[in-house]
Structure 1
Amino acid sequence: MKAPTFPRIEKLNKRRQLIIDTALRLTIEHGLNQVSIVDIAKESQLGPGQIYRCFRDKDEIIENVILNITNKRMQGLGFNRHDNKIKAEELASGYPNNIDQDELNLLYEVLNTSRNKKINDVLATTEQKMQKQGQTILNEYYKNASKEEIRAISEVVATLTEGVIFRKAKGYSDDVDQDILEKIYIAMLQAIDSVFCNRDIEK
């Protein structure tokens, strides 16, 4: 059997991305459990057979949807490095790590309802990658901090970020003044700097 040609691979990849984008839009609009392969095929103007040539089943499509969202989070993680004002604005807005409201809501729904082992594995693997990448960034910034201290700082930042995702997705923080919240986040981030950056200067 001949290996697929580059144009054919490119066409397949574009079709896969179309299916993923369509599935994301439909699950955001209707909910994770209310969307079928037939719905995705109809909305993307493909036949069910074309869908199945790209993905094994709906679960595999959703795995890739979640992977797309978590990859966005990975890209957003290191973008601003250590600009406390930008990080505080991001936290106060309720949309950390480069994800928007709809993606955040879907991610929250998946976290709370998915019994799919592969989806949960994708989320766990991404969390480990984000933790590792975050610790690398922190190591560059807090040059004299110990491994244990870096791990503790990353846990504080992760707790803040995950807390924001949870509360925003549930609507618990919608009535909070964003400007006041931003000032508090800046103070918290500066407090961490005051402990570790001042020590760096002293050394």
Structure 2
Amino acid sequence: MAEIAKTSRLSVGQIYRYFANKDAIIEEIVRRIVFKKISLMTGNAHNLRQMAENLAHRRIGSLHVEHPRNASPERSLEQPEIDHALMLEVTAEATRNPVVEQIWRDAEGQLFNEAKAMLARTYSHLSDDELAARVEILAVICEGTAFRHLTTQHADPIHLDVLYDRLFSRLFDPAMLPPQP
């Protein structure tokens, strides 16, 4: 709460004028993070070549883009890592608080469904189960990489980039696309 108050330039008491309780604050934080993730997915985040490079270099939640110097804190270069840390905190809180667990499950479901819908637009011939499996694999890779961001990277990013690229090429093989009319 102290960090939220500091960032928002409000006192803790003032924050509670806008939010009924801590769960409402968590819900808003999660909503904003999910919105940003969906914006990334529907922007250029579906670029598998870029995703392979980002994962290889452990760039979390963003493409390799420059942000203006005087942009809002929500757009800072550190914000994707802060968002990831916040989501880890929400996940931990969800193990203790059923309200937060439901917030987390709803957000995860929204992200999963958006990713599946995005893939369905390109791979419309894949069944719902096949799309779900591919999204699940991508989620595990991205979330695992985000978690490992805090550890020592034991593999050379250049080699990882090649492997991720091969994996994505197999997972989303252009030969799987139906012929164009």
Structure possessing the higher radius of gyration over alpha carbons = 1
RMSD, aligned CA: 2.8
**2:29 counterpart of 1:65:** yes
Aligned to 1:112: 92
In 2, are the aligned partners of 1:108 and 1:165 still within 8 Å (CA)?
A: no
2:52 paired residue among 64, 88, 102? 88
Aligned residue pairs, count: 163
**2:116 counterpart of 1:135:** yes
1:100 paired residue among 73, 77, 80? 80
Structure (1/2) with the larger helix percentage: 1
**2:9 counterpart of 1:44:** yes
After superposition, the Cα gap between the structure-2 partners of 1:55 and 1:199, relative to the gap in structure 1 and judged at 3 Å, is closer
Unmatched runs of 5 consecutive residues or more in structure 2: 63-78
Unmatched runs of 5 consecutive residues or more in structure 1: 1-22, 28-39
Q: Structure 1 CA distance, aligned partners of 2:3 and 2:134?
A: 38
Amino acid at match of 1:162: E
> TM-score, normalised on structure 1?
0.67
Aligned to 1:149: 130
Larger CA deviation: 95-104 vs 129-138: 95-104
After superposition, the Cα gap between the structure-2 partners of 1:58 and 1:46, relative to the gap in structure 1 and judged at 3 Å, is same
Q: Structure 1 CA distance, aligned partners of 2:177 and 2:12?
A: 61
Aligned to 2:39: 75
Equivalent residue of 1:100, what SS?
helix
Aligned to 1:55: 19
In 1, are the aligned partners of 2:125 and 2:178 still within 8 Å (CA)?
A: no
Equivalent residue of 1:176, what SS?
coil
Equivalent residue of 1:152, what SS?
helix
Residue by residue over 1:34-53, the C-alpha shift from the partner in whole angstroms, topping out at 9 and shown as x without a partner, is xxxxxx279724472x3332
Residue by residue over 1:113-164, the C-alpha shift from the partner in whole angstroms, topping out at 9 and shown as x without a partner, is 4423332222211111111111111112123222221121111111111211
After superposition, the Cα gap between the structure-2 partners of 1:138 and 1:107, relative to the gap in structure 1 and judged at 3 Å, is same
